[in-house]
Amino acid sequence: MRLYVNIDHVATIREARKTDEPDPVEAAADAELAGADGITVHLREDRRHIQDADVTALADSVHTVLNLELGAHADIVRLATRIKPFQATLVPEKRQEITTEGGLALRKTDRRLRSAIATLQDAGIRVSLFIDPSVKTIDIARALGVPAVELHTGRYAHTWRRSDAALTGLRRAATHAKEIGLAVHAGHGLTYQNVQPVAAIPEIEELNIGHSIVSNAVFWGLEEAVRRMKTLVITARNP
Ligand code: PXP
């Protein structure tokens, strides 16, 4: 099980003052020291947190791997092919949303998405699609020829205290995705309180977690926040 730490909100704090601190490159190095298996950033079309220069600097400095989240916009896809992160995770993006609200609405005939996948793969970048945990959507992802999907855990994160239904859905989706040959990632809304049942799903090999880690870094420091999350993820898998 890999823990990829999303450091977007380090840049959110910096952009609140349009200054040069805190530095996402320094955050990535601290997260790696604490056991992060990868660093994730989302280069949004509106550039509200991570900037192009951050992605370039991170591509040079990250010692583990860089996972770049992006919408299927031609200019950002082009930028990704120049920077060549290890992995690109295609996400839906709406300008006004607070965060990525749902998975990609996949259609086999979506020319923009197909073109983004082809361009990224031609550049040697591993492509993952961020989708809702639905068997039908997973089948379309497979047909689109990607090696991996990231299951959106947002519904689970909103409902886990009162119902097991979303967790059951995630388990079913993960099993199906693995059975048809896809690597299974997951993320969104995972916290120190709710991460373990998801981390315990055996088919899931990568978690992307950002907001909760950066939030708790305010109190514990980033290294400690990553260390504690990594411990929870590992112990959920090997109790
Ligand atoms: N995975 C994807 C595809 C995302 O868009 C995000 C949010 O940027 C995350 C994971 C991390 O979500 P959170 O910040 O809630 O941990």
Evaluate: CB of 190 within 6 angstroms of ligand 1: yes
Ligand 1 centroid, distance to 40 Cα (angstroms): 9
Evaluate: CB of 92 within 6 angstroms of ligand 1: no
- The model carries a pTM of 0.96
Q: Per the structure, how many domains does the chain have?
A: 1
State pLDDT tens for residues 65-95: 999 999 999 999 999 999 999 999 999 976 5
Strand segments, DSSP code E, in the chain are 2-6, 38-42, 66-70, 87-90, 126-131, 148-152, 183-187, 204-209
Number of other residues whose CB lies within 10 A of the CB of residue 29: 19
Evaluate: CB of 153 within 6 angstroms of ligand 1: no
* Residue 69 annotated among the catalytic residues of the structure: yes
What is the Cα–Cα distance from 104 to 46, expressed in whole angstroms? 19
Q: What is the mean pLDDT of the chain?
A: 95
- Which CATH number belongs to the domain containing residue 112 in this structure? 3.20.20.70
Ligand 1 centroid, distance to 209 Cα (angstroms): 6
Domain that holds residue 60: 2-237
Percentage of the chain modeled with pLDDT above 90:
91
pLDDT at 188 (0 to 100): 97
Nearest CA to 112 among 72, 146, 140? Answer: 72
